[in-house]
């Protein structure tokens, strides 16, 4: 239906049908519609190509649709958290990660299916099921790798097309790797493929020709280590069991109280509308047509339902204009025998040969290329972009990349008169620090405020990151945050739900860290902006860490990787891989509390959290005096996944150039002048890690302590030396010399 002002469309799942909805939105943007894609994993795997991938015919990229850049190109917000319930009465999606309800005006479910029979005794513990399909190949290969058997006994359970194709795939893979294997296809009623008796005969002949044993007349009733118990009381040895039985429904339909059939699949009418719910749809393997023809759980039906769902969700102005989905009884099915041939069937007709594999390969690749925004290296695909409307290249970054540059900020502050003397102000505006330190009733208080505009349409995520970002200012002093106030600006449309999402995100962080959110203020504006004022106290008798104080003989330790600025910018433009974005989100919602604990027993000469001004500018503020000079060893600087690729491609945050420090203040050795790692020093960070100066004799132990606390990428990235030769150079970026002492 045509979008009402700011209509909220939520797509639950990233199956073959929903990717077509997203592509339609890429081709025909609808700014008035707020679209959210709710997914557990950033990548959707095309099931029809998985056997070819197992056999080595396709790469992981060939068979995958990266949902995150596709959704961003469609203007959709991505929520990387699985839905646990879709409440049709409240019109909201529920989650299990502490998020509040996500409201919708229109919703569609396309979550696929799982496999049946996993409740059989021992099966879930001892077999490799074909679902989740995303990581089938690595799970399978790991089982093969750890097996010490000279003759690997492989059993594929399931006589449908999936089981037959996987049996062929395993045989091809084992042969290509020089491994000996005895492969059994356990199919109680024999191969069950399309094409009638001739189709089954052709598949059986190909299995026999490849040395794959077909065992019929029994089913699995129990599984043990290296053994299957069958219904005829026999035992079947199995070093590796692949479970490719029929489809089973996910729990979402039943848990949501939606109308389901006796197998748990969501019942829909011919318009793909969930029975009894006019604004809720379902399609693909998770759904079943009420009163419609009984069709197999095959990807072809999900693909062909796509245009109908696109029309009914995005085009039809009301229910009277919705179209009906009429699945055809017969279709061309192509079964990959994974040796350059395929079995083709339609109705009772069947044939096989290399021509049919070439046809299948062309069909599958053509389908996938419609949705693959990025290539295997993470660069935009020219073929996808051809004819597509481009996204706004002038977009301004959110997060800590949306701030006034250092020089204008200093200029503005210089126009203010000196603050009046106050004996209770230990460090105020003149300290030019991220926090103020105040005396209060014989003790000290640490006060900070931080705010930024949203970098994502996921208000819950933005709230979490805003809280982490503000609390990190207090942690950078070695102090403990105690109380917080929030200031939130929300849009007029759906302002209450946006506020609830954002504050729930804030609370999920503050509550877990023992910080009380005690109040706040709201305003209405063009979009979500959120900030926190935080009050902290010293950590017991431990002194506060100075921002300035890095002296010669100290090493520089970076606790967490860089790259949030370039990744957030690329994500906004649909140029960041989903796996990169998932890693970025994990980084953004991790506070520096553990870093502080790990550093507590060491001498910290200077410390700062690395935020919007980038590592290089923060480093300048750490130097104790003009007589010190910092050396950064570029190769030692850790980067978030994808950051190097994006920097190499020329991607930059909108605040990047304002952070740049030119010669002679910062000089770069000639071998590194084109190295993107140098550009990372100017990348604006949101909720970044800490940069600390510690005595060189302690740096190795500091890194070990940080890594033990969960800072896996902690590294010594440089050192402080005497100024030496005269001149204005304060920071040098040099190659890493192997003889250096850094830990």
What sign does the CA torsion over 267, 270, 272, 275 have? negative
d(CA 644, CA 642): 6
d(CA 92, CA 107): 9
d(CA 399, CA 375): 27
d(CA 352, CA 202): 7
Tokens 């600087």 sit on residue: 637
Q: For the stretch 108-141, what's the b/e string if a residue is b when 16 or more beta carbons lie within 10 angstroms of its beta carbon? A: bbbbbbbbbbeebebbeebbbbbbebbebbeebe
Contact at 8 Å (CB) between 729 and 643? no
Tokens 């696929």 sit on residue: 112
Contact at 8 Å (CB) between 317 and 323? no
> Which residues are known catalytic residues?
400
DSSP assignment of 527-581: S-EEEEEEEEEE-TTPPPPPSS-B-TTEEEEE-S-B-HHHHHHHHHTT-S-HHHH
With CA atoms as reference, report the closest residue to 435 among 408, 462, 475: 475
Distances (CA, A) of 678 to 250, 406, 562, 683, 698: 48, 19, 11, 9, 26
With CA atoms as reference, report the closest residue to 302 among 19, 44, 690: 19
Give the burial class of 707: count Cβ atoms within 10 A of its Cβ; 0-12 exposed, 13-18 middle, 19 or more buried: middle
d(CA 344, CA 203): 10
- Token output for 633: 């060893």
d(CA 80, CA 347): 41
């Amino acid at each position: 239906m045509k979008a009402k002002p700011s209509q909220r469309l939520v797509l639950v799942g990233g199956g073959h049908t929903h990717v077509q909805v997203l592509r339609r939105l890429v081709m025909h943007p609808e700014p008035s519609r707020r679209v959210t894609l709710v997914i557990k994993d950033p990548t959707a795997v095309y099931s029809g190509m998985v056997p070819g991938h197992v056999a080595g015919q396709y790469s992981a990229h060939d068979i995958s649709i990266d949902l995150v850049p596709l959704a961003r190109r469609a203007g959709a917000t991505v929520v990387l958290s699985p839905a646990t319930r879709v409440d049709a009465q409240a019109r909201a999606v529920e989650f299990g990660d502490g998020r509040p309800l996500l409201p919708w005006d229109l919703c569609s479910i396309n979550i696929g299916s799982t496999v049946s029979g996993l409740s059989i005794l021992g099966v879930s513990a001892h077999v490799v099921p074909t679902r989740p399909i995303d990581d089938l190949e690595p799970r399978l290969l790991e089982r093969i790798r750890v097996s010490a058997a000279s003759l690997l006994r492989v059993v594929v359970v399931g006589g449908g097309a999936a089981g037959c194709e996987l049996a062929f795939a395993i045989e091809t893979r084992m042969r290509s790797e020089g491994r000996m294997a005895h492969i059994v296809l356990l199919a109680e009623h024999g191969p069950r493929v399309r094409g009638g008796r001739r189709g089954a005969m052709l598949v059986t002949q190909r299995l026999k020709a490849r040395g794959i044993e077909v065992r019929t007349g029994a089913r699995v009733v129990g599984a043990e280590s290296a053994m299957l118990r069958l219904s005829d009381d026999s035992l079947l040895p199995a070093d590796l069991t692949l479970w490719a039985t029929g489809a089973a429904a996910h729990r979402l339909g039943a848990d949501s109280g939606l109308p389901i059939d006796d197998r748990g699949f969501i019942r829909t009418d011919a318009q793909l509308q969930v029975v009894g719910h006019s604004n809720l749809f379902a399609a693909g393997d998770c759904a079943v047509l009420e009163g419609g023809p009984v069709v197999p759980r095959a990807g072809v039906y999900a693909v062909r339902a796509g245009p109908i769902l696109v029309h009914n969700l995005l085009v039809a102005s009301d229910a009277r204009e919705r179209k009906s989905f009429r699945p055809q009884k017969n279709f061309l099915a192509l079964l990959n025998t994974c040796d350059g041939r395929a079995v083709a069937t339609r109705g009772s007709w069947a044939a096989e040969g290399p021509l049919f594999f070439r046809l299948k390969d062309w069909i599958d690749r053509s389908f996938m290329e419609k949705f693959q925004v990025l290539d295997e290296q993470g660069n935009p695909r020219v073929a996808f972009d051809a004819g597509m409307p481009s996204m706004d290249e002038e977009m301004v970054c959110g997060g800590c990349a949306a701030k006034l540059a250092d020089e204008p900020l200093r200029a503005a502050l210089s126009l203010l008169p000196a603050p009046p003397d106050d004996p209770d102000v230990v460090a105020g505006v003149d300290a030019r620090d991220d926090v103020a330190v105040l005396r209060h009733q014989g003790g000290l208080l640490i006060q900070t405020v931080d705010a930024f505009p949203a970098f994502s349409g996921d208000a819950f995520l933005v709230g979490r990151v805003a809280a982490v970002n503000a609390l990190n200012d207090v942690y950078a002093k070695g102090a403990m945050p105690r109380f917080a106030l929030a200031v939130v600006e929300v849009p007029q449309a759906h302002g209450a739900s946006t506020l609830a999402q954002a504050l729930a995100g804030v609370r999920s962080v503050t509550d877990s860290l023992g910080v009380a959110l005690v109040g706040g203020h709201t305003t209405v504006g063009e979009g979500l902006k959120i900030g926190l004022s935080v009050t902290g106290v010293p950590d017991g008798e431990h002194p506060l860490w100075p921002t300035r104080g890095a002296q010669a003989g100290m090493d520089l330790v970076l606790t967490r990787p860089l790259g949030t600025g370039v990744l957030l910018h690329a994500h906004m433009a649909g140029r960041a891989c989903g796996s990169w974005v998932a890693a970025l989100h994990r980084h953004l919602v991790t506070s520096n509390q553990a870093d502080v604990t790990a550093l507590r027993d060491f001498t910290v000469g200077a410390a700062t959290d690395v935020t919007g001004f980038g590592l290089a500018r923060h480093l300048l503020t750490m130097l104790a005096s003009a007589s010190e000079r910092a050396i950064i060893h570029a190769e030692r600087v850790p980067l978030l996944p994808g950051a190097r690729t994006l920097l190499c491609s020329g991607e930059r945050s909108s605040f990047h150039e304002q952070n740049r420090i030119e010669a002679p203040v910062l000089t770069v050795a000639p071998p590194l002048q084109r190295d993107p790692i140098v550009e990372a020093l100017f990348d604006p960070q949101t909720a970044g890690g800490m940069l600390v100066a510690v005595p060189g004799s302690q740096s190795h132990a500091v890194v070990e302590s940080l890594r033990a606390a969960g800072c896996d990428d902690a590294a010594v990235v440089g050192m402080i030396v005497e100024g030496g030769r005269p001149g204005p150079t304060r920071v040098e970026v040099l190659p890493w010399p192997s003889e250096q002492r850094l830990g």
